[in-house]
Amino acid sequence: MANQPQLEHTDALNVYILTYNCARTLIQPSIFAPYLFRALPAASHSPELLVLCLQELAPISYAFLGGSFLTPYFNYWREVVKLASKDHGYVNVVSRNVGMTGLLVFARDDVAENVKWLRNAGVGVGFMEMGNKGAVGSRLGYQSPEMANEVELTFVAAHLAPMEDGLERRNEDYKSIVRRLVFVRDSTSQKPISGDEEDEDAPLLQGDDPSLQDDQASESGMYSASSHLFFAGDLNYRTSLLQPSPQDVDEKFPHPTANEADPKHFQRLLAEDQLTQQVKAGKTLHGLLEAPITFPPTYKYDTDGSKAVIFDKREDGEEDRQHWSWARHRWPSWCDRIFWKDHGSNSDVKVSPQKYTCLPLFVTSDHRPVALAATVPLRALSDAAQRGEGGRKPAASPFSIDPEWRSRRAQARTKELVVGLMAYLTLTWEGNGLLLATVIGLGGGWLIIRSLLMG
């Protein structure tokens, strides 16, 4: 017994991850909050870590400018967490965005001090590498007083290329994220925010700060042998390479039925899921795992503006059997997904999914949120690797880090500011007012100067 390695701690960390495409619209906290923890197993306590991965968080004008322009959008989500919390409160330890993709990490108030450090990362993969599509990530060290060593966890929120025919672009987007999502110490991090505060000086950062002077030795990519990795977002993989025909809509679009033998049961369409096929072929999300999908497509719904919440569940947990109203020009697809990194066959450090499901459809978006409840053993991965445990080795990074990641992100950030300012001035009421006031001011000043010169 004396020669056996001592385990750090027998407990596991409960992690709850939700991904949601907000459709550039402010959510309704009082409507969303009752459903936030819908994916928790029955009789579960509040998870120690809550992670919100958000896409199309805000209109491009506010998202590209960032800072205080995003304060209302982040605060609404903080309000959701505050309203949804029952037996514990939460401390907001991470609030970040790269363009329209956002990431919020909350630690339960009784364990918030166990988060020892943070490293952050961001990359755009949209047009000209700006953040209309992209990824934002945070890596943290977690260690309770009972633990001999800390556990590292990495959370990444992503949004990949759209459209049925964008399969190869999505694969390339993932490659770009792996190559240029580089985690560094963040000198701009500020104090965490409790659920009771609405601090406009909160760390609402515009992705990665390329001006940080950090030793290259401290840089690390998304795949780290010492860190658990959760990758979630609107990954946009569809169920066809072509747009649906009217016949497809009538014959192949799924409808609610518990009979899996029914030709319109969603399992028939799930067999055509591009992401499942591409992962099996080793072309994307290398070495990542997903829990079985037992929920209907999460995109693209034709929302009913007369109802704030659609497709609610009955008291017995089953979804109301009603018609799913699909947009006829897009294939119903499982765009919104949550994956985690495989750590081989070592059960002592493997992530254990508890429940993986979708939430109801909210009127503010054509996507349904997807949530994963999972447990993470409180045991350092690096120790297990050093002991040679686990049989099959965990996945190494499929791509090397781009040595020019800093400069590319800095150039893209400059473009974001220009585009964001132009969009703000032309597409928002307050921007229109500012632009008009500027024009009037310049015109009035010119008239005064002209009259003085002529007088």
Q: Please report the pLDDT score of residue 322 as a whole number.
A: 66
At 199 the pLDDT is: 46
* pLDDT, mean of residues 379-407: 74
User: What is the pLDDT averaged over residues 61-84?
Assistant: 96
**Other CB atoms closer than 10 Å to residue 20's CB: what's the count?**
30
What confidence score (pLDDT) does residue 7 get? 35
The 3-class SS string of 268-279 reads HHHCCCHHHHHH
Predicted TM-score (pTM) above 0.85: yes
For 233, the 3-state DSSP assignment is: strand
SS3 35: helix
User: In terms of Cα–Cα distance, which of 134, 100, 105, 99 is closest to 119?
Assistant: 105
Amino acid present at 432: N
Is the peptide bond preceding residue 116 cis, with omega within 30 degrees of 0? no
Q: Please choose, from the candidates 18, 17, 1, the residue with its C-alpha nearest in 3D space to the C-alpha of residue 362.
A: 18
pLDDT at residue 345, as a whole number:
67
What is the torsional sign of CA 291, 92, 123, 226?
negative
Does residue 439 form part of some domain?
Answer: no
* Structural contact between residues 104 and 52, judged by C-beta atoms closer than 8 angstroms: yes
pLDDT at residue number 392: 57
pLDDT of residue 311: 72
Contacts of 150 (CB under 8 A, 6+ apart): 116, 141, 142, 143, 380
Across 141-145, 185-189, 269-273, 419-423, least confident range: 185-189
Range list of H helices, 218-305: 246-251, 266-270, 274-280
403, 369 Cβ separation under 8 angstroms = no
Asked whether the predicted pLDDT for residue 454 surpasses 50, the reply is yes
More confident residue, 452 or 96: 96
Residue 202 predicted with pLDDT over 50: no
Mean pLDDT for 111-138 is: 96
Mean pLDDT score of the chain: 85
Q: Is residue 454 part of a domain?
A: no
pLDDT, tens only, 17-49 = 999 999 999 999 999 999 999 999 988 889 999
Predicted pLDDT of residue 209: 39
Q: Which of 82-91, 95-104, 148-157, 311-320 is predicted least confidently?
A: 311-320
pLDDT surpassing 90 at residue 366: yes
Please check whether residue 63 is in contact with residue 70, taking contact to mean a CB–CB distance below 8 angstroms: yes
Which domain, by its residues, includes 276?
Answer: 12-404
Please report the pLDDT score of residue 37 as a whole number. 96
| Within a domain: 23 | yes
What pLDDT sits at residue 368? Answer: 96
* Selected residue with higher pLDDT from 387 and 17: 17
Q: Look at 319 and 233; give whichever has higher pLDDT.
A: 233
- What percentage of the chain carries pLDDT values higher than 90? 65
302 or 346, higher pLDDT: 302
Residue 109: inside a domain:
yes
Domain count, the chain: 1
Q: Is the pLDDT of residue 176 over 50?
A: yes
pLDDT for 443 = 60
Q: How confident is the model at residue 208 (pLDDT cuts 50, 70, 90)?
A: very low
How many Å apart are CA 443 and CA 455, to the nearest integer? 18
Q: What is the pLDDT of residue 258?
A: 84
pLDDT given at position 5: 36
At 3, the pLDDT band (50, 70, 90 cuts) reads: very low
DSSP three-state, residue 396: coil
Establish if 430 belongs to a structural domain.
Answer: no
pLDDT on residue 320: 56
Q: Which domain CATH number covers 101?
A: 3.60.10.10
- 239 belongs to a structural domain: yes
| pLDDT of amino acid 442 | 62
- Is a pLDDT exceeding 90 seen at residue 369? yes
Q: Is 441 a residue whose pLDDT tops 70?
A: no
State residue 36's pLDDT score. 97
Rounded to the nearest 10°, the torsion over CA 152, 158, 160, 163 is 130
At residue 282 the predicted structure's pLDDT band, cuts being 50, 70 and 90, is very high
* Tens-place pLDDT, residues 254-265: 998 888 888 899
For 189, phi then psi, to 5°, come to -65, 140
Tokens of 394: 């965990």
Residue 437 has φ and ψ, to the nearest 5°, of -65, -35
Residue 446 covered by a domain: no
d(CA 89, CA 195): 7
